Structure 1
Amino acid sequence: MKYCAFLRGVNVKGTNMKMAEVCEVFKNAGMKDVASVLASGNIIFSSEKSAQDLKIILEKAMSEYFNYEAFLFIKSVEEIESFWNSNPFDKNENLHIYAFVGHNEVEKVLMKEFESAEKTENEEGKIVNNNFYWQVPKGNTLDSTFGKILGKKNLKDQFTSRNINTFEKIMKKINS
């Protein structure tokens, strides 16, 4: 079965990794057909194991190899397609759209945080098919109240986010 692992906190705040090394760690952990998409920690691979088992195996392998506390989220091809196809926002060159990958029901936690945050003009959060999407004006991602909430330490093992365009790139690579 084909999967994509979404790593949290890669190549930010001093956690620097070369994707070729990350792919090697995945191969050494028994994954097949391993490839990376972008430098933000998106690893496509094949395995017959369940997503739950893969999370444990790969977090351990990454933590040991890179000497950090690894958090990653494993999604199937169908789940990745759902992220792309369920996007509720129209493309706009002045706005970023993010989708959040995480544990079951993390979308409810994120919506609660979003609803209590101050918002800028055109900033929106929506849940579609159990996926949380956030639209924010370009240049405001890290400065917005919600953007700052996303860095909370108590949420670090719950989710990671990707620009919606990343899902398109992942799907193209999976289907090539």
Structure 2
Amino acid sequence: MKYCAFLRGVNVKGTNMKMADVCKVFADAGMYDVSSVLASGNIIFSSDKTESELKSILEKAMSEHFSYEAFLFVKNQDDIENFWNSNPFQKNDDLHIYAFVCNKDFEKTLMAEFENASKAENEEAKIENGLFYWQVPKGNTLDSTFGKILGRKNLKDQFTSRNLNTFEKVIKKMT
């Protein structure tokens, strides 16, 4: 089955790695047809193992190879297409739309945090088909109250996010 692993915290805040090296770690861990999409830690691969088995195997391999505490989220092709197809927001050149890949039911925690945060004009969040989406004006992602909440260390093993355009690129490369 085809999967994509979404790595958390890659090439930000001092955790720098080349995607070719990451792909080699995946291949050495038994994955095949391994390739990357962008430099933000989106690794497409094939395996006969389950998502939970893959998460454990790959986090261990990444942690050992790169000497850091790796967190990643593994989704199959249907799941990734669901991220793209469930987007509740209209495309707008002035806004970023992020989709969150997270642990089961964590979208509810994200929504509670969002609801308690101050918001910029046109900043919204919605849960659609059990998936959390965040729309934020371009240039405000890291400065927004919610953006700062997302950077908390105690949340790092719970989710990662990607601009919706990344999901489109992953789908194109998977098909």
Could you state the TM-score of these two structures normalised by the residue count of structure 2? 1.00
Moved over 4 A (4+): none
Aligned letter for 1:109? T
Report matched runs for 1:1-176 at 5 Å.
1-175=1-175
Note the residue ranges of structure 2 that are not aligned, 5 or more in a row.
Answer: none
Overall identity of the aligned pairs, in %: 75
SS class of match (1:61): helix
Partner Cα separation in structure 2 for residue 142 and residue 35 of structure 1: 28
Measured in 2, the distance between the counterparts of 1:118 and 1:102 equals: 23
**Cα separation, 1, equivalents of 2:106 and 2:45:** 24
Equivalent residue pairs, number: 175
TM-score by length of 1: 0.99
Unaligned runs of 5+ in 1: none
Deviations 1:38-81 (CA, angstroms, capped at 9, x unpaired): 00000000000000000000000000000000000000100000
Question: How far has the Cα of 1:111 moved from its partner?
Answer: 0.2
